[in-house]
């Protein structure tokens, strides 16, 4: 069993301790207990996570002065201003103070919401995140981004508020829906393509074990993806520049989510975040091709993504997607910036295209990505 790794993310306000591994939570319990000792603690979670994994955090309740569990919906449904407002009112009514603690225990939406609630409650209380999905472990919980959605605009309201600690226990991932595992692994693929070609090799080699949510196989992949993200975030904590490399696949990805409806965990729903990013990566690779970027790297990246057998895209108007991209918070006054991969482990961050060119490429791309073309072009 790999030793639950311990990583650190240094940021302007201090440092986040990050543990990754199969059994990482058990290993972190004593430290977490000390952090919340004698405090009022708000555990933000979902009914499902509480039912599946609640026992794992029970030892924390004994250390707190009192632990208030606040349940929220699964998925993006929880990431609203209304829900944040409810959390704040609950926290206030339950005697929350500046030295209270928040613990986010769940997927990316729970982490984003709990982080936001903590960051703005009394102008900021400390938070720890215990992510329970691949996506949350490699992305949402790492880097201090928090937020909620506005109608049609993901993460439109939020702030940077780094957690004090993050525990990525890969044993939690065994209870995930396989489609959720796939969605998270696609974010790992994203990191691999633009930041870490060694990680890409591991993903290529272990994909079957990873898709089966094997905690031992997942631990080093999650650790590598977290390490890659840490390096980028430390370079650029406020996302002023280099951090935008992580937006690879997200320009179209976020637009797909905005237009098709934000993903949730209900069966039959349209598109998960990682799937949207998967399609977004394929489209960005296509744009990279138009600019003559390293074709062999692009081909290898594409083959990797195609192994995930993305669900086909429903019919959607290119103009609606372009409009959504323009509204995305990554957009600036001077237009939409694209992250285009070059050789594996590299990318350029600020590629511009004419909107008409994008709309025309999108029309072709969507024709190939429709119901008749499941699994990528």
- Residues contributing to the site for a second copy (CB under 8 A): 12-13, 38-40, 65, 81, 85, 88-89, 92, 95, 97-100, 119-124, 145, 147, 150-151, 153, 155-160, 238-239, 327, 329-333
Number of C-beta neighbours around residue 249 at 10 A: 28
Alpha-helix residue ranges (DSSP H) falling in 265-354: 273-290, 295-306, 318-327
**Nearest residue (CB) to a second copy, 13 versus 261:** 13
Q: Which two tokens stand for residue 49?
A: 């996570």
DSSP conformation class of 124: -
Closer CB to a second copy, residue 156 or residue 211?
Answer: 156
Crossing angle of helices 273-290 and 295-306, rounded to 10°: 160
Residue among 159 and 309 whose Cβ is closer to a second copy:
159
Sequence-distant contacts of 154-159: CB under 8 A, at least 24 apart: 154/76, 154/254, 154/257, 154/258, 154/262, 154/328, 155/79, 155/112, 155/329, 156/329, 157/81, 157/116, 158/112, 158/116, 159/116, 159/119, 159/120
Least distance (Å) between residue 264 CB and a second copy: 21
Q: What token pair was written down for 136?
A: 């949350």
The strand pairing partners of 347, in sequence order, are 341
CB of 41 to a second copy, least distance (A): 11
Q: In the complex with a second copy, which residue's Cβ is closer, 302 or 330?
A: 330
The distance of closest approach from Cβ of residue 339 to a second copy in the complex, given in angstroms and rounded to an integer, is 16
Minimum separation from the CB atom of position 3 to a second copy (A): 34
Is 165 strand, coil or helix?
A: strand
User: Measured from the CB atom, is 12 or 268 closer to a second copy?
Assistant: 12
Rounded least distance, CB 21 to a second copy, Å: 30
DSSP lists the bridge partners of residue 10 as 15
Of the pair 14, 292, the CB lying nearest a second copy is at 14
Closest separation in Å from C-beta 243 to a second copy:
12
Give whichever of 100 and 133 is closer to a second copy, judged by the CB atom: 100
Closest by CA position to 4, among listed 177, 165, 181: 165
């Amino acid at each position: 069993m790999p030793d639950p790794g311990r990583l650190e993310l240094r940021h302007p306000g201090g440092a986040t301790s990050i543990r990754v591994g199969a059994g990482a939570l058990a290993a972190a319990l004593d430290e977490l207990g000390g952090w919340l000792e004698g405090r009022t603690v708000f555990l933000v979670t979902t009914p499902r996570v509480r039912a599946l994994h609640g026992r794992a955090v029970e030892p924390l309740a004994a250390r707190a002065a009192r632990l208030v569990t606040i349940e929220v919906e699964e998925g993006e449904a929880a990431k609203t201003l209304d829900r944040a407002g409810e959390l704040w009112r609950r926290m206030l009514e339950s005697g929350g103070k500046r030295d209270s603690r928040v613990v986010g225990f769940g997927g990316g939406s729970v982490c984003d919401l709990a982080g936001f609630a903590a960051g703005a409650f009394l102008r900021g209380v400390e938070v720890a995140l215990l992510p329970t999905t691949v996506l949350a472990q490699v992305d949402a919980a790492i880097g201090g981004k928090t937020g909620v959605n506005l109608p049609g605009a993901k993460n439109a309201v939020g702030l940077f508020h780094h957690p004090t600690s993050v525990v990525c226990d890969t044993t939690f991932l065994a209870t995930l829906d396989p489609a959720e595992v796939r969605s998270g692994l696609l974010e790992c693929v994203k990191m691999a393509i633009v930041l870490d070609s060694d990680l890409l090799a591991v993903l290529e080699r272990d994909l079957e074990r990873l898709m089966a949510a094997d905690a031992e196989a997942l631990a080093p992949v999650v650790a590598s993806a977290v390490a890659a993200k840490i390096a980028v975030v430390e370079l650029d904590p406020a996302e002023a520049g280099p951090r935008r490399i992580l937006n690879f696949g997200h320009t179209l990805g976020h637009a797909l989510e905005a237009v098709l409806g934000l993903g949730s965990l209900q069966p039959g729903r349209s598109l998960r975040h990682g799937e949207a990013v998967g399609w977004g990566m394929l489209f960005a690779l296509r744009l990279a091709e138009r600019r003559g970027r390293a074709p062999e790297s692009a081909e290898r990246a594409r083959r990797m993504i195609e192994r995930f057998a993305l669900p086909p895209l429903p019919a959607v108007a290119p103009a609606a997607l372009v409009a959504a991209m323009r509204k995305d918070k990554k957009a600036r006054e001077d237009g939409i910036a694209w992250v285009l991969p070059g050789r594996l482990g590299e990318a350029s961050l600020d590629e511009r295209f004419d909107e008409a060119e994008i709309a025309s490429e999108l029309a072709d791309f969507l024709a190939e990505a429709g119901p008749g073309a499941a699994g990528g072009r």
